């Protein structure tokens, strides 16, 4: 099984690249995030690889960081999520954002990803909610804890009504609630969150 490729980038496309390793060209499919991180051909590059062997194909999927590769492996365990959809999700959402979306229950955000309909979004949120907290976020970023219900849920709802996406509002709500403690009121939390989001 191929786990890592280091070689010269021969070609970059919208969904894949060709890496020349000692005269052998490997076709590697990747997220747009990974492809954007690669140098312009013919520079040298290193990609972590996940190998998938099927009856009719030997497929290589490349990742610039281990967090993205780990998320790819987890996403493909969900029924209805193949490699193509997993790469589409990782193209739209970095590992940190994906953890935030799952923690916030952001079904609408997931359905914006090509290939993810409402039913699959619910399945992703349901099956990955327990596992997301233990997943890496990439680039040394800490995971975002899901805020508790009650005041946090009310604040998220109010911010969503003001036009903020759950994925951007959720970290602000969690931060403000931690700063304010148990005596926080909904009005004070919303005002503080609006100041935080305006930064």
What is the rounded CA–CA span in Å between residue 168 and residue 194?
11
More confident residue, 176 or 168: 176
Number of domains in the chain: 3
Residue 140 has pLDDT above 70, yes or no: no
Q: Which neighbouring-strand residues pair with 26?
A: 19
What per-residue confidence (pLDDT) applies to 168?
A: 75
Return mean pLDDT, the chain. 86
Same domain, 56 and 14: yes
What per-residue confidence (pLDDT) applies to 138?
A: 55
Residue 148 has pLDDT above 50, yes or no: no
| Tokens 């009005």 belong to residue | 187
| Tokens 């790819």 belong to residue | 72
* Run of H or E residues at 12: strand 4-12
What is the distance, to the nearest Å, from the Cα of residue 17 to the centroid of all Cα atoms in its chain? 21
Residue 139 lies in a domain: no
Residue 47 lies in a domain: yes
Which of 63, 85, 113 corresponds to the end of one domain? 63
Same domain, 70 and 128: yes
Same domain, 109 and 82: yes
Q: Residue 55: which CATH number?
A: 2.40.50.140
What per-residue confidence (pLDDT) applies to 142?
A: 38
Residues 6+ apart with CB under 8 A from 16: 27, 28, 29, 30, 35
Which of 26, 44, 63 corresponds to the end of one domain? 63
What per-residue confidence (pLDDT) applies to 141?
A: 36
Give the pTM: 0.70
The token pair at 2 is 């191929």
Name the pLDDT band for 145 (thresholds 50, 70, 90): very low
SS3 71: helix
Q: Residue 119: which CATH number?
A: 1.10.150.20
Question: pLDDT, tens digit, for every residue of 176-198?
Answer: 888 887 778 888 888 898 888 88
Residue 142 lies in a domain: no
Q: Residue 168: which CATH number?
A: 1.10.8
What per-residue confidence (pLDDT) applies to 137?
A: 66
Name the pLDDT band for 99 (thresholds 50, 70, 90): confident
Range of the domain at 23: 4-63
The pLDDT of 60-86, averaged and rounded, is: 94
More confident residue, 11 or 198: 11
What per-residue confidence (pLDDT) applies to 4?
A: 95
Same domain, 55 and 73: no
Question: pLDDT, tens digit, for every residue of 15-27?
Answer: 999 999 999 999 9
Residue 158 lies in a domain: yes
What per-residue confidence (pLDDT) applies to 101?
A: 83
Residue 25 lies in a domain: yes
**Torsional class of 23: left (φ above 0), alpha (ψ -120 to 50), beta (otherwise):** left
Residue 143 lies in a domain: no
The pLDDT of 107-135, averaged and rounded, is: 88
Same domain, 167 and 119: no
CA distance to 149, 157, 167, per residue, from 191 (Å): 19, 14, 18
Same domain, 122 and 92: yes
Same domain, 53 and 74: no
What is the rounded CA–CA span in Å between residue 96 and residue 94?
5
Which of 14, 45, 63 corresponds to the end of one domain? 63
Q: Please answer whether residues 190 and 155 qualify as being in contact, where contact means their C-beta atoms are separated by less than 8 angstroms.
A: yes
Residue 141 lies in a domain: no
What is the rounded CA–CA span in Å between residue 192 and residue 195?
5
Q: Please answer whether residues 95 and 71 qualify as being in contact, where contact means their C-beta atoms are separated by less than 8 angstroms.
A: yes
Point out the least confidently predicted range of 27-31, 51-55, 144-148. 144-148
């Amino acid at each position: 099984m191929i786990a890592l490729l280091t070689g010269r980038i021969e070609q970059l496309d919208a969904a894949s690249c060709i890496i020349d390793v000692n005269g052998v060209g490997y076709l590697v499919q990747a997220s747009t995030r990974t492809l954007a991180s690669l140098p312009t051909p013919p520079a040298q590059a290193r990609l972590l690889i996940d190998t998938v062997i099927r009856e009719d194909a030997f497929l290589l999927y490349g990742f610039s960081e281990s967090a993205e590769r780990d998320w790819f492996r987890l996403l493909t365990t969900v029924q209805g999520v193949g490699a193509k959809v997993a790469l589409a999700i990782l193209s739209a959402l970095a590992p940190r954002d994906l953890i935030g979306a799952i923690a916030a229950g952001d079904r609408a955000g997931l359905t914006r990803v090509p290939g993810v309909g409402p039913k699959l979004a619910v399945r992703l949120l349901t099956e990955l909610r327990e596992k997301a907290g233990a997943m890496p976020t990439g680039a040394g970023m800490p995971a975002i804890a899901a805020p508790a219900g009650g005041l946090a849920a009310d604040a998220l709802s109010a911010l969503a009504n003001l036009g903020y996406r759950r994925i951007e509002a959720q970290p602000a709500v969690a931060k403000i609630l931690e700063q304010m403690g148990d005596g926080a009121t909904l009005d004070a939390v919303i005002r503080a969150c609006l100041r935080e989001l305006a930064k």
